[in-house]
Amino acid sequence: MSHQSEECKRLENNIVQIADLHQLNDFEVDSSSVYLFHFPMGRTDFEASRSQEAYQLIYNFCLRLHKDATVSILTTPPEAARLLPILEKCLEFKLWVAVKTTPHTYVNQKGKLPERHAALLILTRYSGTLRHTKTRVKYTYCPSCKKTTKDYGGKKHTYHEYGTLISDVWRDIECNPCEDIEPISDLLQDLFGLEPYKLLQILDLRTCKDLLPVTELPPRPNETSLIKEQPTLFQMSQTLLSPHLANANEPKLESRLLNMDCLEGLRSLPTESVDFCFADPPYNLQKKYSHWNDSMETIEYFAWCDQWLSELARILKPGKTLAVMNIPLWSVRYYQHLCSRLNFQAWIVWDAISFPVRQIMPSHYPILCFSKGEARALPGLQPKNSTEAEYLAPLGEFYCLRESCLSQRQRLKASDRGELSDLWYDIHRLKHNSYRVDHPCQLPPMLMRRLFTLFTLPGEVILDCFNGAGTSTLVAQEMGRGFIGIELSLQYHTIAQQRHEELQQGKNPFGKREVVPDAKNSRVERLPKQHYMVSKKILQLDVKRIAQEIGRLPTREEVKTLSKYPIEYFDNYFIGWGEVCAAARTTGMSDLPVDQADIQLKFQM
């Protein structure tokens, strides 16, 4: 990955082979090192579950570290999920970075999703925000039109000429951590190239005797240990389902939307009755829902999550999948609960690509997949028709989504598709209001289409116990699957019902809408719709001119005196002073590679 770190004093690096974790007891620690534990790759959940002693030795080492220390751990996602809760007793979690690996890092297993990422945990001995250099990753360019992969539209003047701020998905580098982690260490040497650090200590555990592959087989899951409660409100029907595709002899749950609490709804369903469970719960991050307190105490929140996770595990059929989405740290907590009930199946990283608001942008959501007992071979790996095949064919990396480029590629029948893996980067959040209804955090339908194609067959029953505006149930119906959607809020439940009616009438419930929704997916207030006398870009560039004249960002009073435009425009058109100064704080960029941008500028002169 080409990157640029501001005011960076690059760290030296030093590799130490750790053959026995007891060596760590004598390892001298100091205040100027950043540590990177390099685990053997391919470690399974079962191996991780057998490594408590090894983790304890690493914990003892971390306990001795200086109060300013930063520790990173490079390993497989299941191992990171098992190790983190132990290290969290002496270190503070800062980031889970998903690092792209080469296709040959993990052995592809028949019937499973190819694995293409490793976990890089970043933890510190200190509290508060992570200290690191401001690091940017060079823009990537579309292999077809040669413009930047992301279309920055009319906002190019507010971006930096070099690239975007680094996020928590490192896809621009690719390495095989079994062999060489140079691209990762290279980046860490600059990312942490600031006081008091001087050295990146790489503790290479690849041949460590305490982490050797386990040869014994994992015990067969004891499915009878799962609680089997009796149904209360159970209804059965054969309607809406295609009996020839699912097992025709099995009783089927009737497709329906339930307006009730998820626990009440789940408890009403029989054990082992659902083919795919999905959950996109409230994240307890103070979202403004109509009927839900999204800021419970953490302990209370997880006690509640454990209850519905257990219910989902109960109603899931053997061999089938439960997929749950959340932020990385909360997903680790879910992992702890689920791994005692179900089998770990896949750790999908959805790189949802957001705006650079902080120094390292958190931009991904894990989708944790567990199966009841041994997972069946993924049905989607042999798609049933061309539409479903399309859902599983991601856009090749770095291709752009500009209309002109897309149609050109279509005309030329250019092959712009990549290979499906557990790293999903081509599905964007629903940003545009015209595609949203009145719900603050709708998922994009394409995410559900891919999940349902991959994990289910036509006719099978999908359940979403936080159905919101109905994304899951609508997609399920669209794809000929049965569905059960549970939603607490009457308002969202009604929206979902109306959209199902639209679907029934042959309309597209995901199409463009005229009405601007009230609900927002960001905490920033929405400004009233208005007619701009002068474009925001012109105003921001005028502020940039003033900043250059006075040698710093101007205050409101200075803009009032020095701008060509009335101060009311700045007050009314922008959300805050940060946005007014957005262009003044950076260099501006072009969507062509730097040398081509120069040529184009010369032609324009």
489 binds ligand SAM (CB under 6 A): yes
261 binds ligand SAM (CB under 6 A): yes
487 binds ligand SAM (CB under 6 A): yes
394/468 with CB nearer ligand SAM: 468
State which of residues 348, 486, 583, 589 lies at the interface with ligand SAM (CB under 6 A).
486
Beta carbons of 346 and 380 less than 8 angstroms apart: no
Site for ligand SAM in 421-460 (CB under 6 A): 439, 441-443
Closest distance to ligand SAM from the beta carbon of 452 (Å)? 13
Binding residues with ligand SAM: total (CB under 6 A) = 21
Whether residue 196 is preceded by a cis peptide bond, meaning omega within 30 degrees of 0, is yes
Q: How far apart are CA 77 and CA 94, in angstroms?
A: 16
Closest distance to ligand SAM from the beta carbon of 357 (Å)? 20
281/379 with CB nearer ligand SAM: 281
Closest distance to ligand SAM from the beta carbon of 275 (Å)? 19
State which of residues 301, 302, 455, 466 lies at the interface with ligand SAM (CB under 6 A).
466
375 binds ligand SAM (CB under 6 A): no
Q: Return the H-helix or E-strand segment holding 345.
A: strand 343-351
Cβ neighbors of 11 (< 8 A, separation 6 or more) are 34, 188, 189, 190, 192, 193, 197, 198, 199, 200
The total number of residues written for the chain in this structure:
605
487/591 with CB nearer ligand SAM: 487
Beta carbons of 277 and 316 less than 8 angstroms apart: yes
State which of residues 191, 346, 461, 469 lies at the interface with ligand SAM (CB under 6 A).
469
C-alpha count within 13 angstroms, C-beta hemisphere, residue 352: 22
Q: How far apart are CA 526 and CA 556, in angstroms?
A: 21
State which of residues 471, 473, 477, 590 lies at the interface with ligand SAM (CB under 6 A).
471
Rg, the chain, Cα only = 26
State which of residues 93, 292, 435, 577 lies at the interface with ligand SAM (CB under 6 A).
292
Look at the block and give the residue holding tokens 């006398």: 533
152/304 with CB nearer ligand SAM: 304
Closest distance to ligand SAM from the beta carbon of 279 (Å)? 9
468 binds ligand SAM (CB under 6 A): yes
Closest distance to ligand SAM from the beta carbon of 231 (Å)? 19
Q: b/e map of 225-238 (b: 16 or more CB within 10 Å)?
A: ebeeeeeeeeeeee
Using DSSP's 3-state secondary structure scheme, residue 80 falls into: helix
The beta strands (E) that lie in 18-88 are given as 33-38, 70-75
Task: Indicate the DSSP class of residue 531.
Answer: -
Q: How far apart are CA 496 and CA 485, in angstroms?
A: 9
Closest distance to ligand SAM from the beta carbon of 293 (Å)? 9
352 binds ligand SAM (CB under 6 A): no
Going from the C-alpha of 465 to that of each of 230, 266, 312, 429, 493, the distances in angstroms are: 19, 8, 9, 21, 12
Closest distance to ligand SAM from the beta carbon of 260 (Å)? 7
Closest distance to ligand SAM from the beta carbon of 326 (Å)? 9
State which of residues 159, 197, 289, 370 lies at the interface with ligand SAM (CB under 6 A).
289
Could you tell me the sign of the dihedral formed by the alpha carbons of 599, 399, 75, 444, in that order? positive
State which of residues 98, 145, 262, 269 lies at the interface with ligand SAM (CB under 6 A).
262
Look at the block and give the residue holding tokens 């040959």: 104
Tell me the window of 267-275, 278-286, 477-485, 537-545 that interacts with ligand SAM (CB under 6 A): 278-286
x-or-dash string of contact with ligand SAM, 490-529, rule CB under 6 A: --x-------------------------------------
267 binds ligand SAM (CB under 6 A): no
Could you tell me the sign of the dihedral formed by the alpha carbons of 475, 478, 484, 486, in that order? positive
Helices (H), 369-470: 386-391, 403-411, 445-455
**Residue 506, Ramachandran bin (φ over 0: left; ψ between -120 and 50: alpha; else beta):** left
Closest distance to ligand SAM from the beta carbon of 474 (Å)? 9
State which of residues 118, 188, 475, 488 lies at the interface with ligand SAM (CB under 6 A).
488
Beta strand 92-101 with 199-204 is unpaired
Q: How far apart are CA 208 and CA 217, in angstroms?
A: 21
261/397 with CB nearer ligand SAM: 261
Closest distance to ligand SAM from the beta carbon of 507 (Å)? 18
Residues near ligand SAM (CB under 6 A): 261-262, 280-282, 289, 291-292, 439, 441-443, 466, 468-469, 471, 486-489, 492
